[in-house]
A and B are shown apart, each in its own frame.
Chain A
Amino acid sequence: MAELIDLVLLGMLAATALRVIFLRDLFAVVMLFGIYSFLSAAIFVSLDAVDVAFTEASVGAGISTVLMLGTLALTERKEKVTQHKSWLPLLVVITTGGALIYGTLDMPPFANPDNPVHHHVAPRYIEQSPQEVGLPNMVTSVLASYRGFDTLGETVVVFSAAVGVLSLLGIRRRREPASGLASESDNTGQADLSESDPGLRAHEVLRVIAKLIIPLILLFALYVQFHGDFGPGGGFQAGVIAAAAFILYALVFGIGSGFQVVSPNVLRWLTPFGVLLYAGVGVLCMLMGGQFLDYNVLASDPVHGQHYGIIAIELGVGITVFAVMLNIFYAFTSQTERVGQ
């Protein structure tokens, strides 16, 4: 019965992706991408990957869709009709697809417990991580403790994405005249956009509901952050959900009010703070006699040391991801303040 759900969801996914090829209206394409992301999150749940489903739903269907819509607001909405011949890409795609399907016939059957992938490394972690790290969620224990280096690298990648977006776009904080390629505004002037758009005052329902929902979203983000040890969750999902709360505020009340609530200066300090916290925990472990990111030395009992280390680094990850997502959103939305864009 569970296979039927799997089959149907994958079929819907294929239909959604196929439709993206033929649509010219980019707004509809982005919406279909959001649906695609949600459907893949549902497939991840049915394939028992609950942490991954959480991350895909919040990051793929949430942040990616918002950023693409922000880009569409700055560029055109419809794709122009092209004069390309499209048989060459089709030929390439069919050949590659055929070769890949021929390759998948050699793979072991789906979901069989005797597959080689379940036999060499995974049983060691499934059996020993409850004793060595002491957390019920094995994905968090592998992500934060056994493979902590990679997660540090991942946090740095997120941080460098913020650096890239800020150096390309920058956050505009004053109304500038539309004069060619304006430089990135990194000044420390006051936020001039403090008056919210008068048109937004007419949106009573949205404002009331937003004010009702935002504290609950933040509470849920904190829950996901600290409950990631016992259930699905962790730093990434929590950071994205917390950023979504402030994005909702900025969307409903205007970007000026958003800047007053969480100003870009605060974000500029928060973004590297998370990475520093993470690396700082590693250095602290070195100072206390262990190796870099070896949490066993953080407390008298190794398992407690692991708990402290994991909570600290997940906090660092959550802070950085929150600040980065909000930074990127501010960078995209503040571009539309330019006159005539």
Chain B
Amino acid sequence: MIMLEILSGFLLAIGVFFGLTGAIGLFRFPDFFTRVHSASVTDSMAAVCILAGLLLQSDFGLTAVKLLFILLFLLVTSPTASHALAKAARHGGLLSIPEHKHSVKGQD
């Protein structure tokens, strides 16, 4: 049982780390698309790690099944949300930094 406790604590710590780096990246990255990547790390990795850590701490019953369902749901929908965000920006015409430099240089 102590092994489960250690593993769960480790997963929770990793989840917190990913959440923190995702938030810092949201401020520090220069471009929209890189910021979307950083936010999606929070959505997918941090949430999944924290949920997995909590899963290891609960008994083998209804709570664990509910946590598993939430984990699967988040695994499916978080990347989709980031994809939808990036796709919408692309559809609206947003360029990434190298493409922007390239287009500006081409206009001179």
* CB pair A212 B84 closer than 8 Å: no
Cα-based distance from A205 to B87 in the complex (angstroms) = 10
Q: Is B77 part of the contact surface with A, judged by Cβ < 8 Å?
A: yes
**Which chain A residue has the least Cβ–Cβ distance from B72?**
A216
Contact with B along A203-240 (1 / 0, CB 8 A): 10110010011001000000000000000000000000
Min distance, Cβ A215 to any Cβ of chain B, angstroms: 13
Q: A219 CB to closest chain B CB, in angstroms?
A: 11
Q: Mark B51-95, 1 if CB is under 8 A from A, else 0.
A: 000000000000000000000010011001001100100000000
Can you name the residue of chain B whose Cβ is closest to the Cβ of A199? B91
Q: What's the Cα separation between A212 and B80 when bound, in Å?
A: 12
Query: Chain A residues near B80 (CB, 8 Å)?
Result: 205-206, 209
* Separation of A213 and B84 alpha carbons in the complex (Å): 15
Inter-subunit contact A206/B84 (CB<8 Å):
yes
A216–B87 contact, CB under 8 A?
no
| Cβ contacts B6-46/A at 8 Å (1 or 0 each) | 00000000000000000000000000000000000000000
Please report the number of residue pairs spanning A and B whose Cβ atoms sit closer than 8 angstroms: 16
How far does the alpha carbon of A124 sit from the alpha carbon of B84 in the complex, in Å? 51
Query: Is the Cβ of B87 less than 8 Å from the Cβ of A209?
Result: no
**Which B residues are CB-close (under 8 A) to A209?**
76-77, 80
- A213 proximity list for chain B (CB < 8 A): 76-77
Partner of B76 from the list A203, A206, A212 (CB cut-off 8 Å) is: A212
Asked if B76 contacts A205 (CB within 8 A), the reply is no
Cα distance A202–B43 in the bound complex, in angstroms:
25
Name A's B-contacting residues (CB within 8 A): 203, 205-206, 209, 212-213, 216
How distant is the Cα of A203 from the Cα of B73 in the complex, in angstroms?
20
A50 → chain B closest CB, angstroms: 14
- B77 touching A203, Cβ below 8 Å: no
Q: How far is the CA of A216 from the CA of B73 in the complex (A)?
A: 9
Q: How far is the CA of A121 from the CA of B53 in the complex (A)?
A: 41
Q: Pull 13 A–B residue pairs with CB atoms less than 8 Å apart, ordered by A.
A: A203-B87, A205-B84, A206-B80, A206-B83, A206-B84, A206-B87, A209-B76, A209-B77, A209-B80, A212-B76, A213-B76, A213-B77, A216-B73
- What residues of B have a CB within 8 angstroms of the CB of A212 in the complex? 76
Complex Cα distance A216/B72, Å?
12
Which B residues lie within 8 Å of A216 (CB)? 73
B76 contact set on A, CB distance < 8 A: 209, 212-213
CA distance A216 to B69 in the complex (A): 11
Residue numbers in A under 8 Å from B73 (CB-CB): 216
B51 to chain A, nearest CB (A): 16
10 new A-B pairs (CB below 8 Å) besides A205-B87, A206-B87? A203-B87, A205-B80, A205-B83, A206-B80, A206-B83, A209-B77, A209-B80, A213-B76, A213-B77, A216-B73
How far is the CB of B54 from the nearest CB of chain A, in Å?
15
A123 to chain B, nearest CB (A): 30
Residues of the A chain whose Cβ atoms lie less than 8 Å from the Cβ of B87: 203, 205-206
A94 CB, nearest partner CB in chain B, Å: 31
With a CB–CB cut-off of 8 A, which chain A residues contact B83? Answer: 205-206
A205 to B73, CA, bound (A): 16
Nearest opposing residue in chain B for A212, CB measure: B76
Shortest C-beta distance, A103 to chain B (Å), equals 37
Measured between alpha carbons, how far is A144 from B10 in the docked complex, in Å?
45
How far is the CB of B71 from the nearest CB of chain A, in Å?
14
Q: A250 CA to B45 CA in the complex, in Å?
A: 30
7 A-B pairs closest in CB distance: A209-B80, A205-B83, A206-B84, A205-B80, A209-B76, A213-B77, A212-B76
Determine the chain B residues whose CB is within 8 A of the CB of A206 once the complex forms.
80, 83-84, 87
Cβ distance A233 to chain B, nearest Cβ, rounded Å: 13
* Complexed CA–CA distance, A268 and B76 (Å): 34
Residue in chain A with minimal CB distance to B84? A206
- Complex CA–CA separation, A326 to B26 (angstroms): 35
**How far does the Cβ of B78 sit from chain A's closest Cβ, in whole Å?**
11
Q: B108 to chain A: closest CB distance in Å?
A: 31
Give the residues in chain A near B84, CB-CB below 8 Å: 205-206
